[in-house]
Structure 1
């Protein structure tokens, strides 16, 4: 009886480990395939620039313009998303959980939506 329980527990553990290995890869692939590559690159670049700004100033920038307006510009210009809209930035002072957000509001430039109108964001 104990042997059956041990075998069942090991089988369940093996299945759980396989699910934990496979699911994140599937989810990341699905998410990355659904997000336009330009937004992935732009948001990653803005995230890196915000972190460099934080390292240099011990505070997050108030706006994305601070990344190019400081004595030493971290990036040359603030990119626009695929639809020609500015990325939105919420610094930790505006967000209660002390994390910054970089957001593309999609083609319609409005909160929410589906398809090309969906929001693409990074919460760090």
Structure 2
């Protein structure tokens, strides 16, 4: 093999790696997002079961810790965030998360992952929140905040 052939092989490998790494990272991101959605669905189910048994929503996730998937930790290693707003609705409109029109996204409770970047804002349309995995419209939407 000549030096030129060797350089050509290295160049081709470089192009393949340049294409493959972002594709693989995109696959990992989609997989983690799907896992977070699945875990939020499970947490929502646990919260609703708690409500049926106690006629109120839990004050914090610690109240249902034994039933949480992965001990309440999202795929990026951060704790899921939960806020009970049902007990104080509509007075609790202040601490609840908001959509792009500053309307609360839920009336009973908020449960979400801060996503890949581990950052969030109260308004889900803000840049730090776009990668959050959220429950909105009282459970009728569960997914990426950017898609809400």
- Tell me by how many angstroms 1:86 deviates: 0.5
Aligned to 1:113: 127
Q: Name the CA shift for 1:76/1:120 in 2 (closer, same or farther; >3 Å).
A: closer
- Tell me by how many angstroms 1:76 deviates: 7.1
Unaligned runs of 5+ in 1: 1-32
Q: Does 1:102 align with 2:115?
A: no
Unaligned runs of 5+ in 2: 1-29, 94-105, 121-125, 139-148
RMSD: 2.9
Give the secondary structure class of the aligned counterpart of 1:62: coil
Aligned partners of 1:118 and 1:76: how far apart in 2? 20
- Tell me by how many angstroms 1:78 deviates: 2.8
Aligned partners of 1:84 and 1:91: how far apart in 2? 22
Aligned to 1:80: 73
Number of residues paired by the alignment?
87
Aligned partners of 1:78 and 1:120: how far apart in 2? 17
Contact 1:53/1:74, CA 8 A, preserved across alignment: no
Give the secondary structure class of the aligned counterpart of 1:65: helix
1:29-108 matches, cutoff 5 A: 36-68=33-65, 74-75=67-68, 78-92=71-85, 93=87, 95-96=92-93, 98-108=107-117
- Structure 1, 34-43 or 59-68: larger mean CA deviation: 34-43
Aligned partners of 1:76 and 1:104: how far apart in 2? 13
Q: Name the CA shift for 1:77/1:105 in 2 (closer, same or farther; >3 Å).
A: closer
Q: Name the CA shift for 1:74/1:84 in 2 (closer, same or farther; >3 Å).
A: closer
Aligned partners of 2:76 and 2:42: how far apart in 1? 18
For normalisation by structure 2, the TM-score amounts to: 0.49
Aligned partners of 1:76 and 1:102: how far apart in 2? 13
